[in-house]
Chains A and B, each alone.
Chain A
Amino acid sequence: MSEEDRAAVAALSALFREHVDVKQLLADLEGATARPSEWAADLAQYPTGAGG
């Protein structure tokens, strides 16, 4: 990596430490991986009956 690369990685690292909740993201990822059905969206569906 170049010096510019290292500066970008350092800046990104600092931004993530300050602004991103990685711990919560990992916890949710673990939950969604183990129980994906709990994350299914509850979307309204187009009526399928005859005549609506």
Chain B
Amino acid sequence: MVHAPLRMMVAGDRSSVGKSTISLGLLVALLDAGFLPHEVAYIKPATQCVSSTLVARFCEEQGIACEHIGPVVYYRGFTRQQLDNPSEHNALVAQCSEAVDRISTGKRITVIDGVGYPSVGSVVGCSSADLAVACAAPVLLVGKPGVGDAVDSFNLCARYFEAQAVPVLGSIFNRLSPSGFYSLDTCRRYLRKYMAGSRPRQRVYGMLPVHETLGTLGAEEACGLSFERPKARPAPPSAAQRRPAPPSAAHCRPTADPCMPARGMPAASAHACCAVCRCLRAPAR
């Protein structure tokens, strides 16, 4: 039984290693374990992607608080813009931390989805380790198949977090083959042997085999990179503006949770953004 509010960052050694898939799996597992949707939150505070994702659609359907884009979006040219305006530097981690605080309010657990490899964002002072520190979030690493390479990659990532004293819990290794030289059983035996001997604090929490249905997730979750600076967020609504919309203004599909706050969306986004309120839900048909 979990009592204290918890936060956990899901990180990995590269993009598309399965961080969002593992995050989704964790959300599903939490519901299976008896957590109620309103007790759980998901956020990707810094991202390179502006597309709709399965984890966002799952959260919306389940009524899980969700913010899958930003507040920091690494659009093309973001680094140059930040380096030209270094005063904005420190604000990025604060923006992310505030977003995590906001979405975590009243929750038992918040899953924080990392971006790319652990140092992504370090150029602007907003790496995953910086975020883990600011959000006080221990880290779960998503690992790759194999033995030596898998351990080496795990250590490369873990050491990056540990240099800032971020607790690294361990790993879920993803996309293991059912047979062959790097079979799941073989990798499990050796990865657990390594952890027990050299990293007794960290655990191998799981080894996921390749799965045909999930094979399409990588493509489905492919990054919809923003090629322009997302428009500035609209100002918070005034008290008068916060009045419930009249029935005639039902421009969005009904949702169980107002989980995706309004924000600017780049024109290049493939997402069908509601043109009326600029939320991230699909427009009503």
Contact = CB atoms under 8 A, between A and B. Distances in A.
Interface of A: 1, 4-5, 7-9, 11-13, 15-17, 19-26, 28-30, 32-34, 36-41, 43
The interface size bin for chain B is 35 or more
A30 B6 CA distance: 7
Most interface-central of B3, B29, B207 (chain A CB within 10 A): B29
Contacts of A15: 25, 208-209, 211, 214
B165 A12 contact: no
Contacts of A1: 54, 57-58, 61
Nearest to B207: A19
Contacts of B57: 1, 5
A11 B211 contact: yes
A41 B162 CA distance: 6
Nearest to A41: B162
Given A24-B203, A39-B201, A13 B4 contact: no
6 contacts: A5-B57, A8-B214, A25-B140, A26-B33, A29-B109, A37-B165
Contacts of B208: 15-16, 19-20
The 5 closest A-B pairs by CB, nearest first: A20-B206, A39-B167, A41-B162, A32-B167, A32-B138
B25 A13 contact: yes
Interface of B: 2-4, 6-8, 21, 24-26, 28-30, 32-33, 54, 57-58, 61, 109, 136, 138, 140, 158-159, 162, 165, 167-170, 172, 201, 203, 205-209, 211, 213-214, 216-217, 220
Do most interface residues of chain A lie in helix, strand or loop, or is the interface mixed? helix
Nearest to B31: A13
B214 A40 contact: no
A8 B28 contact: no
Contacts of B170: 25, 28
B159 A41 contact: yes
Nearest to A13: B28
B6 A9 contact: no
Given A11-B213, A26-B33, 17 more contacts: A1-B54, A1-B58, A1-B61, A11-B211, A11-B214, A13-B28, A15-B211, A19-B209, A20-B172, A20-B206, A22-B33, A28-B170, A33-B7, A33-B136, A40-B167, A41-B162, A43-B162
A23 B34 CA distance: 11
Given A28-B203, A39-B138, A33 B4 contact: yes
A50 B81 CA distance: 42
A32 B208 CA distance: 24
Contacts of B8: 29
